[in-house]
Amino acid sequence: MKFLTYMSMRKAVASALLALSAAVMVFAVACGGTETVIQTVVVEKSVPGETVIQTVVVEKEVQVAGETVVQTVVVEKEVQVAGETVVQTVVVEKEVVVEVEKEVAVEVEKEVQVVVTATPEAMMEAEDDAMMVDPADLPDSKSPPGSVIMADLGSALGSITGNGGSLPDAPLSARHWGAGESLFTPGDADWDVPMLAESWDLADDLSGVTINIRQGVQLHNGWGELTAEDMAWVLNRTNPAINPESIAASAANLTALFGDVPVEAIDDYTISAQFNNFDVRWASNFLNQEASGGLTTMATSKRAFDENGRDWLKDNFVGTGPFRVADFKSGTSVTLERVDDHWRTTPAIDTLRVLAVPEEFTRVALLQNGEADVAFIDPKDLARMAKSGFMQVGAGQGIQEGIMFPGNLWETTNALTGEAIDFPSHGVFVREIPWVGNPHSPQDADNPPGIDDMEQARLVRHALARSVDRDAIVEHVLGGVGNPVHVTYFSTFNPNWESQYEYPYDPAEAGRMLDQAGYSANDDGTRFQIPLFVGPELGGGEGPAGEIGDAIAGFWEDIGIRVEVLKYAYGVFRPGLVSRSTVVPMLTSCDDGKESYPFDWPKGLVQTTLTRGGFSCGFESPDILAWYEAAAAEPDREERIRINKEYLAYMHNWALFPGYVTVPQAYYANPNYIASWDMHLGNTYNSPENIVLK
* Cα distances (Å, whole numbers) of residue 220 to 147, 265, 540, 624: 20, 21, 31, 42
**What was the pLDDT predicted at 26?**
34
Q: Decide: 260 and 253 in contact? Cβ < 8 Å.
A: no
What residues does each domain of the chain span? 4-132, 147-393+670-693, 398-664
pLDDT at position 501, please? 97
691's enclosing H/E stretch is strand 691-693
Average pLDDT rounded to a whole number, residues 19-27:
36
User: Alpha-carbon distance 371 to 120, whole Å?
Assistant: 31
Contact 327, 123 (CB under 8 A): no
Question: Which of 421-435, 534-548, 621-635 holds the top average pLDDT?
Answer: 621-635
Instruction: Give the confidence band of 610 by pLDDT, cuts at 50, 70, 90.
Output: very high
What is the average per-residue pLDDT within 387-395? Answer: 87
Residues ≥6 apart with Cβ < 8 Å to 622 = 410, 411, 412
Nearest residue to 52 (alpha-carbon basis) of 83, 21, 81: 81
Residues 438-461: what's their mean pLDDT?
A: 92
Query: What is the 3-class SS of 371-434, one letter each residue?
Result: CCCEEECCHHHHHHHHCCCCEEECCCCEEEEEEECCCCECCCECCCCCCECCCCCCHHHCCCCC
Q: Would you tell me the crossing angle of helices 544-558 and 4-31 to the nearest 10 degrees? A: 140
* 8 A C-beta contact, residue 169 and residue 237: yes
- Please indicate, yes or no, whether the overall pTM of this predicted structure exceeds 0.75: no
pLDDT band at 272 (very low <50, low <70, confident <90, very high): very high
Query: What is the structure's pLDDT at 318?
Result: 92
Q: SS3 for 149?
A: strand
**By C-alpha distance, which of 358, 359, 398 is closest to 481?**
398
Q: Which residue has the higher pLDDT, 338 or 52?
A: 338
pLDDT at 328: 86
- Between CA 544 and CA 179 the distance in angstroms is 27
* Residue whose C-alpha is closest to residue 596's, from 688, 503, 677, 489: 489
| pLDDT average, residue stretch 603-627 | 94
Nearest by Cα to 51 from 18, 78, 75, 73: 78
Query: What single letter denotes the amino acid at residue 544?
Result: P
Q: Are strands 374-376 and 197-202 parallel, antiparallel or unpaired?
A: unpaired
In this prediction, residue 2 carries a pLDDT of 42
Do 501 and 649 contact (CB within 8 A), yes or no? Answer: yes
Across the chain, mean pLDDT equals 81
pLDDT of residue 614: 86
Q: What tens digit of pLDDT does each residue of 423-449 get?
A: 766 778 888 999 999 999 898 888 999
- As a whole number of angstroms, the distance between CA 102 and CA 115 comes to 40
Rounded to whole angstroms, the Cα distance separating 185 from 631 reads 22
147-393+670-693 and 398-664 share one fold: no
Residues of the chain above pLDDT 90, percent: 55
Q: Which residues are 111's β-sheet partners?
A: 91
Q: Which residue has the higher pLDDT, 386 or 300?
A: 300
Q: What confidence category does residue 27 fall into, taking pLDDT thresholds of 50, 70 and 90?
A: very low
249: nearest Cα among 545, 567, 578 = 578
Q: Can you give the pLDDT at residue 491?
A: 94
Q: Which CATH architecture has domain 398-664?
A: Roll (3.10)
pLDDT-based confidence at 330, cuts 50/70/90? confident
Distance, in Å, from the CA atom of 226 to the CA atom of 183, rounded to the nearest integer, reads 12
DSSP letters along 151-191, please? EE-GGGG--TTS-----TTS--STTTTT----SEE--SS-S
Reported as half-sphere exposure (CB side, CA atoms, 13 A), residue 120 has a value of 10
More confident residue, 500 or 63: 500
Map residue 623 onto helix, strand or coil: helix
Q: State how beta strands 208-213 and 270-274 pair.
A: antiparallel
pLDDT at 427: 79
- Integer Cα distance of 172 and 177 in angstroms: 10
pLDDT at site 418: 92
**H helix count then E strand count, the chain:** 14, 27
Residue 617 has pLDDT above 80, yes or no: yes
Q: Say what percent of the chain tops pLDDT 70.
A: 76
Is 225's pLDDT higher than 70?
A: yes
Q: Tell which CATH architecture fits domain 147-393+670-693.
A: 3-Layer(aba) Sandwich (3.40)
- Rounded to an integer, the average pLDDT of 565-593 is 93
Nearest residue to 92 (alpha-carbon basis) of 46, 45, 43, 130 = 43
Per-residue DSSP letters for 546-605? HHHHHHHHHHHHHTTEEEEEE-S-HHHHHHHHHTT-----EEE-TTT-BTTS-TTS---G
Question: pLDDT tens digits, residue range 161-211?
Answer: 444 566 776 666 677 889 999 999 987 667 789 999 999 999 999 999 999
pLDDT at 186: 85
Q: Is the pLDDT of residue 596 over 60?
A: yes
How do beta strands 333-338 and 586-588 pair? unpaired
How far apart, in whole angstroms, are the C-alpha atoms of residue 393 and residue 395? 7
Q: What is the pLDDT of residue 648?
A: 98
For Cα atoms 656, 170, 355, give the angle at the middle one, nearest 5 degrees: 95
The 8-class DSSP code of residue 266 comes to E
The pLDDT assigned to 503 comes to: 98
pLDDT band of residue 124 (cuts 50, 70, 90) is very low
Q: Which residues on adjacent β-strands are paired with residue 107?
A: 96
pLDDT for 310 equals: 83
Q: How far apart are CA 565 and CA 527, in angstroms?
A: 17
Lowest mean pLDDT among 32-36, 663-667, 682-686: 32-36
CA distances from 552 to 466, 477, 563 (A): 11, 11, 9
Average pLDDT over residues 392-408: 90
Instruction: Give the pLDDT confidence score for residue 173 in this predicted structure.
Output: 67
For 264, residues 6+ apart whose C-beta sits below 8 A from its C-beta are 232, 271, 272, 273
Greater pLDDT, 312 or 264? 264
How far is the C-alpha of 601 from the C-alpha of 379, rounded, in Å?
27
Residue 317 CA to residue 335 CA, distance in Å, equals 12
Q: How many CB atoms within 10 Å of residue 584?
A: 19
Report the C-alpha gap between 558 and 3 in whole angstroms: 9
pLDDT per residue over 365-389, tens digit each? 999 999 999 999 888 788 788 788 8
**Residue 102 confidence (pLDDT):** 36
Q: Dump pLDDT digits (tens) for 463-518.
A: 999 999 999 999 999 888 889 999 999 999 999 999 999 999 999 999 999 999 99
**Residue at 105: amino acid letter:** A
Report CA Rg, the chain. Answer: 27
Mean pLDDT is lowest, of 225-229, 327-331, 390-394, for 327-331
